[in-house]
A and B are shown apart, each in its own frame.
Chain A
């Protein structure tokens, strides 16, 4: 199972030109007629091989082990290479399931827990806070502030609410959530804006490190990074398809890494598992790729059940960083999807939160044609 060199290598070469996954996967997609002159296309005659699971990926027990850790940028903190996403805590079966998942994650050395003020109207934060009761000091707790362009005072009120829900007196990381609109950097940097709240929270000892996150476009991230604020962390989508389409790993990751920022990867499987469901990547390929990128501290992956946690733990247990060649092969494979169809968070409004759109006075997705 795993990311051991030979197995992932075999996996990728077996797949060959997987023109196809896209055509067979999505019900609303049809394949194109074969055209006589089609230099950009892979061989249309080639059948689509099934993408098998790596052996042991599902269903086998998880042995005891401790996750690898890495320096979290220049913070001096050591973080597990896999982090637990907070959004999906809200969809888990209930508090008991969340308690068990988080206890098991901690047992295996996973110490990074993501969240956001607006996830499930606070329920994700509450569930995490309850599950970490008595274990707070083993965890790196991150949450995000959801001002979406509003001012410092709104941010500080959100911080207090987050702390109450998370049952703690301080956050390890506090990030500006969903920096995805072209006017967001300007709004963040405005006098009395959210960045002043980040600084105030740090001074008051309520947040140790601060940063921002977004999924839309590298140029927005660069505008944030180049605005002069001393961020400690930055979060971005990182997966093999990103390399060929509006690429964070080509445009933002090197800048962040050069400055020693802690980089958190997300959307390793496309945001909602689109790359897995459509047969583009296996879960092991997706996570191993994201966790192998130089400069990345941790990869945040949403986990909403014990089954998914176990799957990720098995991948983590056997993880060895992919070789440069394996990384190249996955990028080459991902290039055929360079129209962005599996990274719709970069193009459509599909992944933009309602609250953020309302605060920016943008029409709701239902009012837009796409």
Chain B
């Protein structure tokens, strides 16, 4: 039997709401080998002290939300639940349809946090804030009590995040990649994090180990070093996804035994990342358009590269439907 230990809790931005310093990512949950495993991961995460659960309407075409909803059954009031909306520039009415579907899949009547997913393109801020854009949906959902807090997420370019923050819309949370490579390349830590801290917006870190663990596979860092680095930044939580219980146990152990790194230790990690960070090859989500979400590219009317892995996966997933998007209910 695992002994129940706790993970440090932190304030969610300028509010009194507390969330665990480590959050369970929803994308990797949908890649678990089956529903039973996913439900076990969620149960073990709650038991291990994680209170913040991330998800997104389009992860694995709804499977992540479905499985997370099943895992949280009977425990909804013990957790801080986030999902994200995938309008990718489209209308508020579509966003509201997606919200209803997210709530059904997650088996709840409200989300604690609802974020705009995948803010990646130069025109996303303008599409968000326009009349009838997704900004109106965020406000409406809050008014209706269907979401407590709202925010946005993206991994592409700190300047796009700053443009979102300068639309004048009030965000409660903002999600971004934070790791020692980011410190040295197109840096969210330099450009965006201080703005959030100053404005009392809850910063949410993601991609602490580079998205798919590439720096660990190449022996540049251990997972523990990277997870600790991200958790030591002034963020509300660090989102890390797992598809296997064994990885979850590793992450829980790191978070439960968490002692903040010293400033020299943080600087040493940044310095170690520097020689690798110059061309961004461990952060390709910031540079190459081959890492763009193809469904987001379609929504923006950008052409697709049929050779990209993401496009091939999308075509495979949709081959019998003729629809590029996961189904939106009528």
A residues contacting B by CB (< 8 A) are: 19, 22-23, 26, 28-33, 35, 37-42, 44, 180-184, 217, 219, 244-246, 335-336, 338-341, 344, 347-349, 352, 357, 360-363, 368-370
Are B292 and A339 in contact, CB atoms less than 8 angstroms apart?
yes
| A182 and B303 contact, Cβ closer than 8 Å, known pairs A32-B298, A39-B130, A245-B122 | no
B88-144 interface (Cβ within 8 A of A)? 89-91, 93-94, 121-123, 127, 130, 132-133
User: Which of A38, A182, A219, A344 interacts with B278 by CB under 8 Å?
Assistant: A182
B304:A29 contact, CB within 8 angstroms:
yes
8 Å CB contact of A370 from B185, B284, B298: B284
Question: CB within 8 A of B123: which of A35, A338, A340, A348?
Answer: A338
CA of A245 to CA of B302 in the docked complex: distance in angstroms? 14
- Whole-angstrom CA separation of A363 from B278 in the bound complex: 12
Interchain CB contact (< 8 A) of A32 among B122, B133, B186, B304: B304
Checking A19, A181, A363 against B301 with a beta-carbon cut-off of 8 angstroms, the contacting residue is A19
The answer to whether B281 touches A363, judged by C-beta atoms less than 8 angstroms apart, is yes
Kindly provide the distance from the CB of B62 to the nearest chain A CB, expressed in whole angstroms.
Answer: 19
B275 and A361 contact, CB distance less than 8 A? yes
- Judge whether A339 and B297 touch: CB under 8 Å: yes
State in angstroms the CA–CA spacing of A17 and B307 once bound together. 27
Which residue of chain A has its CB nearest to the CB of B295? A32
- Assuming the contacts A339-B297, A360-B278, A360-B279, asked whether A183 and B121 have C-beta atoms less than 8 A apart, the reply is no
Shortest beta-carbon distance from B210 to chain A in Å: 13
Specify which of B94, B133, B299 lies most central, judged by the most chain A CB atoms within 10 Å of its CB.
B299
- How near does chain A come to B213, taking the closest CB pair, in angstroms? 15
Other A-B contacts than A39-B91, A339-B297, A370-B291, 14 sampled, CB-CB below 8 A, are A29-B303, A32-B303, A37-B94, A39-B89, A40-B299, A41-B300, A42-B301, A182-B184, A182-B277, A336-B301, A341-B303, A348-B290, A360-B275, A360-B279
Q: How distant is the Cα of A217 from the Cα of B278 in the complex, in angstroms?
A: 12
9 contacts between A and B (CB under 8 A): A22-B303, A30-B304, A32-B302, A38-B89, A40-B301, A338-B121, A357-B279, A362-B276, A370-B288
Given the complex, which residues of A lie within 8 Å of B309, measured CB to CB?
A: 369
Task: Check B289–A29 contact: CB distance below 8 A.
Answer: no
In the assembled complex, B247 has its CB within 8 A of some CB on chain A: no
Contacts of B133 in A (CB 8 A): 39
**Is B287 an interface residue, CB under 8 A from the partner?**
yes
Question: Which of A26, A352, A362 gathers the greatest number of chain B CB atoms within 10 Å?
Answer: A362
Pairwise interchain contact A352-B279, C-beta atoms closer than 8 A: yes
A339 lies within 8 A of B302 (CB)? yes
Given the known A-B contacts A340-B289, A341-B303, are A182 and B185 also in contact in the complex, defined by CB atoms under 8 Å?
yes
- Band of interface residues on B: 35 or more
CB-based contact A183/B94 at 8 Å: no
Q: How far is the CA of A210 from the CA of B308 in the complex (A)?
A: 41
* C-alpha spacing A37/B302, complex, angstroms: 15
- The B199-236 residues at the A interface (CB cut-off 8 A) are none
Question: Is there an interface contact between B289 and A339, defined as CB atoms closer than 8 Å?
Answer: yes
Is there contact, CB below 8 Å, between A28 and B279?
A: no
Q: Which residues of B contact A (CB under 8 A)?
A: 89-91, 93-94, 121-123, 127, 130, 132-133, 157, 184-186, 274-281, 284, 287-292, 297-309, 324
Q: Check A38 against B275 for contact (C-beta < 8 Å).
A: no
Q: In the complex the two chains form, what is the Cα distance from A289 to B87 in whole Å? A: 35
A-side contacts of B277, CB under 8 Å: 182-183
Chain B residues whose CB sits within 8 angstroms of the CB of A244 once the complex forms: 122
Write the chain A residue with the least CB distance to B157: A246
Given contacts A182-B278, A184-B278, A363-B281, contact A38 B123 (CB under 8 A): no
Do residues A368 and B284 form an inter-chain contact, with CB atoms below 8 A? yes
Q: Which chain B residues lie closer than 8 Å to A347 at the CB level?
A: 287-289
Q: Residues of B contacting A32 with CB < 8 Å?
A: 297-298, 301-304, 324
The CA-CA distance from A291 to B89 in the complex, in Å, is: 35
On chain A, the residues within 8 Å of B292 by CB distance are: 339
CA distance A44 to B290 in the complex (A): 24
Report the Cα distance A149→B297, complex, angstroms.
Answer: 37
How far apart are B311's CB and chain A's nearest CB, in angstroms?
A: 9
Report B-chain residues with C-beta under 8 Å of the C-beta of A26: 303
Task: Give Cα A349 to B282, complex, Å.
Answer: 13
A304 to B315, CA, bound (A): 41
Q: How far is the CB of B330 from chain A (nearest CB, A)?
A: 12
| Most chain A beta-carbon contacts within 10 A, residue among B186, B274, B278, B280 | B278
A341 to B122 CA separation, bound complex (whole angstroms): 13
B127 touches A39 (CB 8 A): yes
A28 touches B305 (CB 8 A): yes
User: Nearest residue in B to A184 (C-beta to C-beta)?
Assistant: B278
Contact of A30 among B122, B274, B306 (CB under 8 A): B306
Q: Indicate if the CB atoms of B298 and A33 lie closer than 8 Å.
A: yes
Residue with the greatest number of chain A CB neighbours at <10 A, chosen from B278, B301, B308: B301
Nearest residue in B to A341 (C-beta to C-beta)? B289
Q: Are B291 and A341 in contact (CB under 8 A)?
A: no
Shortest CB distance B192–A (Å)? 14
Chain B residue nearest in CB terms to A361: B275
In the complex, the answer to whether B306 meets A28 with C-beta atoms within 8 Å is yes
- A182 vs B306: C-alpha distance in the bound complex, in angstroms? 30
Contact B122 A368 (CB under 8 A): no
A40 close to B122 (CB less than 8 A): no
Cα–Cα, bound, A219→B191 (Å): 12
Question: Within the complex, which residue of B123, B274, B302, B305 is in contact with A183, where a contact is CB–CB below 8 Å?
Answer: B274
Residues of A contacting B132 in the complex (Cβ-Cβ under 8 angstroms): 39
Q: Name A38's contact: one of B184, B185, B301, B303 (CB within 8 Å).
A: B301
If the complex has contacts A39-B90, A341-B303, are A183 and B281 also in contact, measured as CB distance less than 8 A?
Answer: no
Q: Which residue of B lies closest to A338 (CB)?
A: B122
How far, in Å, is B110 (CB) from chain A's closest CB?
25
Chain B residues with CB below 8 A from A183, complex form: 184, 274-275, 277-278
Please, which residue of chain A has its CB at the minimum distance from the CB of B304?
A30
Residues of A contacting B130 in the complex (Cβ-Cβ under 8 angstroms) = 39
The reply to whether A38 and B299 form a contact with Cβ atoms under 8 Å apart is yes
Please, which residue of chain A has its CB at the minimum distance from the CB of B284?
A370
Q: Which residues of A contact B299 (CB under 8 A)?
A: 35, 38, 40
CB-CB < 8 A to B93: which residues of A?
A: 37
A369 touches B278 (CB 8 A): no
The answer for the CA separation of A184 and B123 in the assembled complex, in Å, is 30
Q: Is the CB of B324 within 8 A of A33?
A: yes
Whole-angstrom distance from the CB of B45 to the nearest CB of chain A? 30
A244 to B132, CA, bound (A): 24
